[in-house]
Amino acid sequence: MSLPLPAQQRPPSPVRFTEAREHALRRTIQLPGSVESRTVSTVASTVPGLVVDFPAREGDTVKKGQPLAQLRRQTLEISLRAARAQLQEAESRQKLAERNLERARDLFESKVFSQQQLDGTFFEFNAWQGRVDQLTAELDRIRDELDRCTIRAPFDGVVVREHTELGEWVKVGDPVVELLALNQLEILIDVPERYFRSLKRGGRATVTFESLPGLTVRGRINALIPRADPQARTFPVKVRIPNRGRRIGVGMLAQVSFPAGEPYRATVVPKDAVITRGPQKFVYLMNGDNTVSLLSVQTGSGVGSWIEIRGSVRAGQKVITRGNERLQPGQTVQGQLLEYELP
């Protein structure tokens, strides 16, 4: 049985390497948070009525202006027709009063009508004008109530709770549905006192989710609430994030990373270069004679596909980023450069 060749006598293994670089980093704070919606609304009825249609159901996605419930309209429609008829009569009488006023003015100038008779026709015209205005306002009120019989979504969102049902009578102010906006979300984080003063409104944050592996979302600090929990001594901080594709749900747990402190210079390598063996981390360094050395390192902050390392690796040295999982120290390799974009 043949024995495996020593590492120095094996044919060169093909690998890809990347040069370590020096990059400006900032230390990060990583804290847990919970997803909240920026807009949660209990949509209520603004008119009393009987629910005759209830298309909105829990879990339904609705657009702004989309009907959530429909109330009975017949009584208001009857009132609308009656008000229109009254307005038509009042407008006819107002036009007649206007013609009478014009004739009265001519007769007054001819000394046929007295001032009292002229005043009487003027007051009658004003009375019918007022009646027309009153009935016009009444029509506007009835139309407004008819429009509000259709209860509509005030914003794009998801129905998360139903508060009424088909055939129920709702009063003014009675809840119809609870609506949740998912386009813009916030992460609520309880920040320890020692970190709170280092955060600024508008500052950047990076958010990941345990239940959505591979998803990283960029956000900004939207609110710093300067009132601490009296027991935990933590301050509420809110980070606004987009929700493209609506993959993120309200109530999800999140990990939020904030940059903190002043920038510093550090050695970074691609994350692919780091090998983890239990609690220890290593990188393979490609030497000038095309052999490799295994070096123990410690990792720090990440920046895109790169990560900070602390150890004996220096900027400009070649670290193996592909094929490193099968190498042994001292082995000869045939390397090819592999570039990684550095943010």
Task: Give the tokens for residue 138.
Answer: 């009444």
CATH architecture group of domain 74-148: Orthogonal Bundle (1.10)
Per domain, the residue ranges of the chain are 7-22+264-337, 28-38+182-263, 43-69+151-180, 74-148
Please tell me what DSSP assigns to residue 154: S
CATH architecture of structural domain 7-22+264-337? Beta Barrel (2.40)
CATH of 43-69+151-180, one of 2.40.30.10, 2.60.40.10, 1.10.10.10, 2.40.50.100: 2.40.50.100
Residue 296 neighbours by CB distance under 10 Å:
11
**Cβ proximity of 177 and 163 under 8 Å:** yes
In tens digits, the chain (343 residues) has pLDDT values of 444 555 556 688 999 999 999 998 877 888 999 999 988 999 999 999 999 999 989 989 999 999 999 999 999 999 999 999 999 999 999 999 889 888 888 887 888 888 888 888 889 889 999 999 999 999 999 999 999 999 999 999 999 999 999 999 999 999 999 999 988 899 999 999 988 988 999 999 999 998 998 898 999 999 999 999 888 889 999 999 998 888 898 999 999 998 877 788 999 999 999 999 888 999 999 999 999 999 999 998 888 789 999 999 999 999 999 999 889 999 999 999 999 988 7
Specify the DSSP class assigned to residue 147: H
Task: Identify the sign of the CA torsion 6, 7, 9, 12.
Answer: positive
- Give the CATH architecture of domain 28-38+182-263: Beta Barrel (2.40)
DSSP for 166-221, written as a single string: TT-EE-TT-EEEEEE--SEEEEEEEEEHHHHTT--TT-EEEEEETTSTT-EEEEEE
